[in-house]
Chains A and B, each alone.
Chain A
Amino acid sequence: MRNNTLLKITIGILAVLGIALATSIVGFRELNRLSEREANFAGRSIENGAKLFETNCIGCHGVQGQGIPGVAPALNSANFFDGRLQEVGYAGTLQSYIELTIASGRPVGSGNYSAVMPTWGEEYGGPLRPDQVRDLADFILNWEATAVGGGEATPTEEVVIDPNADPVEIGMAVYAANGCAGCHGEPGGAGIIGPNLGGIATRAGTEVAGLSAEEYIHQSIVDPNAFIVPECPTGPCSPNLMPQTFGSTLSEAELNGLIQYLLTLQ
């Protein structure tokens, strides 16, 4: 009996020492573990943000966040990380600025950008939960390394349009270079925030009485507010969504090419 009890007490003491040892091992690793886990979840947040960006944002801000001229600003540019807060006079951090803008949107398009930023946060009636807004902000902030320098900038191709080429080819290049697909989608696919232009050649002649197809398309590009079609993919179309500046930014040849190209979309 006596030896038995002593043996049990010894094993018990060893087990308690084992518990102390196990806890010490955890304690010893704990600081490293915490920072490792922090990096893990920061990484996963960026992954989530990338996915959300792809589903919700590329229509206006471009697949790689390069923005679409006249529609929505670039988010992967040096200026976005270095100058934006001063430009708008925002006193908080860039992260809070991004989260705020995503959640509450931009009620009016500012000078350079015509598109309205919708309210994405669920607290303002949008579809995204606060954690998703944070994930998106983490993803956007992750462009900093490549935007500010050091890393390789996201390549955005400089498009050179040959004025002597076939007008339809010029038009296709203009369509691509000006980010038309950002809102209208690829012709024949689905529109994103603007109406899809598949079949525009057929519709154009009958939309507005007194305008030929060519005249109607011309008017829609240079003066988009003159006539607003009723139905857009996200609900009724609203004025001022399409840039009002194409009349001055496109050359005669480019404008003509674009019209010729659109007229081929039967």
Chain B
Amino acid sequence: MGVINNVAREIRTEGVISWLLRQLDVLITKLTTGLNWNDLRGLARGDDPRRPNPRLTVHSESFWFHIKPSYYHQSVTKLTHTFRLGLLSTYFFFIELVTGIFLMIYYAPTPQRAYGDMLNILTNVPFGELIRDVHRLTAEGMVIVVFLHMVRTFLTGSYKKPRQFTWLTGVVLLLATLFLSFSGYLLPWDQLAYWAVTIGGSMIDKAPPPVLGKTTQLILLGAPAIGPAGLLRFYLLHVLFVPLLVIFVFFIHYYKVVRVGISLPSSEEEIGQDTAKRVPADRRRYYLPDVFTDEMLLLALITFILLALIVLNVYPGAPLEHHANPNKTPLHTKAPWYFLWIQGLLKLGDPTIMGVVVPTIVFGFLFIMPYIDFNPSRRAKDRRFALSAWMLALAVFVILTWMGTPFFKVASPPAEEVVQLMLPEEEAGPVRETPWAELQLGEWDTRVDVPGDPDSVANPVMQGLMEEMAQHIVQEDVKAYEKGLDEGLPNGYGKMIIEEWQDGLKKITMRIFWQPEGVDEQTFEKTFFIHEEAGYGE
């Protein structure tokens, strides 16, 4: 009763409105663990805090803010010092968790259901495609951001004492990020997924000694080849085990960052010294409100950019190829771009050495690098060797990545390449990009149906296609000799036969002819069906 009487007395003396406002202020102070309404306004306006500083209470009372230091050295909060790449990595991981949970609602990891579930997400779930695109784009973005984060740390020499272990946990996080991205690759159970992971799985198989490789592969895939067991295992690794590992290692990583402090620009301290934690009072930049504002601004901008890339179609969207088919190897199996360097290595020699030993050495070196680098200086002029080695490594990485693409040393028959260029198995290609109705029925020939030929009965669209095909035949002929294949496409020409096959369905037969010296004419033929609504070209 006493409480109610007190409240009544308070309301009588203060008036209802000011009493309610005061209660509201109490609630706000509780929610913000120490900041009342005026403090919040002060934060937004950039006012100085009152004394005692309530913003510091937040750092001791709130769980999320206690993780953050209450102030930083002015020099490290400049965007150009760290580019806040660590924060971005964490934020991207958070986006992945949220979008991933949404995708999990509509997905079951079995070969019978997985692909159908993807179709359902794309055709039947409102915002399903957006969520999937965000998940995919952020995953690739996370690989880039984590990589750049590591590059920045290397260039500023921040991995050196006392931050060696922070670097080491960072390499674990890099590997986890790569594996998360790669394991997510398999889940749609399409051709892209199946064959990329088949290559990955066969690399593990090559790990020496054979017993180790075979056993690891068997544990990972649950069978000698990818199947239901492998899909389930990759799924569980993707949604449960590796994310848990990331969270676990992330907290170690971040605890070290806060404990030791972000390294100052090397010019601001003596060689061998580390003064990151001793911040003079006049160089302090408080987390609330300055750094917090910067961080929130950055995250809002990045989120906006991600969405804009998707909405404006700059990012073409997460691909979904045909259903996984173990009996049909695609002409070019492409590793995800961040593993192209390994694919490039594989083309250079023995798969055990190039596919397993070299990458292991690369990542092993990254792990121990801070412990074997005895140069105490973080200044660029003292680190000529390390920085030159880095430039060299980057160049090798770029070259290997290029070598991983089909442009390098992929010896598929040139006739198949021509057909693939005109009508790829999975993507749109010039024929599918032609409006369906303009694919004129009939038999078209690269020797006749070129623009300006009076014999041609083709319309300009078909003539354009034939011209393109003729160019590809010439180019592939040249490439075949450059790549040292036995046979190019001498005297080559192509035909394309278009037939009405069914309601809204056309059958397209692609034929490539060529005639080497003293041999009969050779032919390659492949048929396709194109449906009016298939929409590859859009």
Contacts and interface: CB of A to CB of B under 8 A. Distances in A.
Q: Do A and B come from one complex?
A: yes
Interface of A: 1-2, 4-6, 8-9, 11-12, 15-16, 18-19, 22-23, 25-27, 30, 33-34, 36-44, 46-48, 50-51, 54, 64, 129-132, 139, 142-146, 151
Contacts of A130: 112
A2 B503 contact: no
B529 A50 contact: yes
B272 interface: no
Given A6-B46, A8-B294, A22-B308, A54 B127 contact: no
B314 to A, nearest CB: 12
Contact of B308 (A2, A18, A37): A18
B259 interface: no
B78 to A, nearest CB: 13
B46 to A, nearest CB: 4
A26 B127 contact: yes
Nearest to B122: A37
A42 B527 CA distance: 20
B535 interface: yes
A18 B304 contact: yes
A139 B362 CA distance: 51
Contact of B531 (A47, A144, A145): A47
Interface string B101-145: 000000000011001100100111011011000000000000000
Interface stretch (B59-67, B295-303, B341-349, B440-448): B295-303
Interface in B159-174: none
B115 A131 contact: yes
Interface in B494-538: 501-505, 507, 527-535, 538
A143 B502 CA distance: 6
Contact of A15 (B45, B129, B303, B538): B303
Given A50-B507, A51-B529, A30 B126 contact: yes
Interface of B: 44-47, 111-112, 115-116, 119, 122-124, 126-127, 129-130, 289-290, 293-294, 296-297, 300-301, 303-304, 307-308, 310-311, 322-323, 501-505, 507, 527-535, 538
A22 B307 contact: yes
A19 B303 contact: yes
A46 B505 contact: yes
Nearest to B45: A2
A22 B304 contact: yes
B535 A36 contact: yes
A116 to B, nearest CB: 24
Contacts, number: 129
Given A11-B297, A11-B301, A22-B307, A43 B534 contact: yes
A41 B122 contact: yes
B45 A43 contact: no
A151 to B, nearest CB: 6
Nearest to A13: B300
Given A26-B127, A34-B123, A8 B505 contact: no
B453 to A, nearest CB: 31
A25 B122 contact: no
B139 to A, nearest CB: 19
Nearest to B119: A41
Given A18-B304, A19-B303, A50-B529, A142 B534 contact: no
A19 B129 CA distance: 17
Nearest to B293: A8
Contacts of A1: 46, 290
Contact of B307 (A19, A37, A48, A145): A19
Nearest to A48: B322
A54 B297 CA distance: 57
A30 B293 contact: no
Contacts of B311: 22, 25-26
A15 B538 CA distance: 29
8 contacts: A5-B46, A12-B297, A18-B308, A22-B308, A37-B123, A40-B123, A47-B531, A54-B527
A40 B534 contact: yes
A206 B111 CA distance: 52
Contacts of B119: 41
Given A12-B300, A15-B303, A142-B503, A42 B533 contact: yes
A233 B126 CA distance: 50
A8 B112 CA distance: 50
A34 B127 CA distance: 9
A56 B346 CA distance: 37
A26 B532 contact: no
A51 B308 CA distance: 38
Contacts of B111: 129
B193 to A, nearest CB: 14
A198 to B, nearest CB: 21
Interface centre among B294, B301, B503 (most CB of A within 10 A): B503
A43 B46 contact: no
Nearest to B503: A145
B505 A50 contact: yes
Contacts of A139: 502
A236 B528 CA distance: 33
A6 to B, nearest CB: 7
Contacts of A54: 527
B529 to A, nearest CB: 4
A36 B533 CA distance: 8
Nearest to A37: B123
Given A2-B45, A15-B303, A34-B124, A47 B534 contact: yes
Contact of A39 (B301, B527, B535): B535
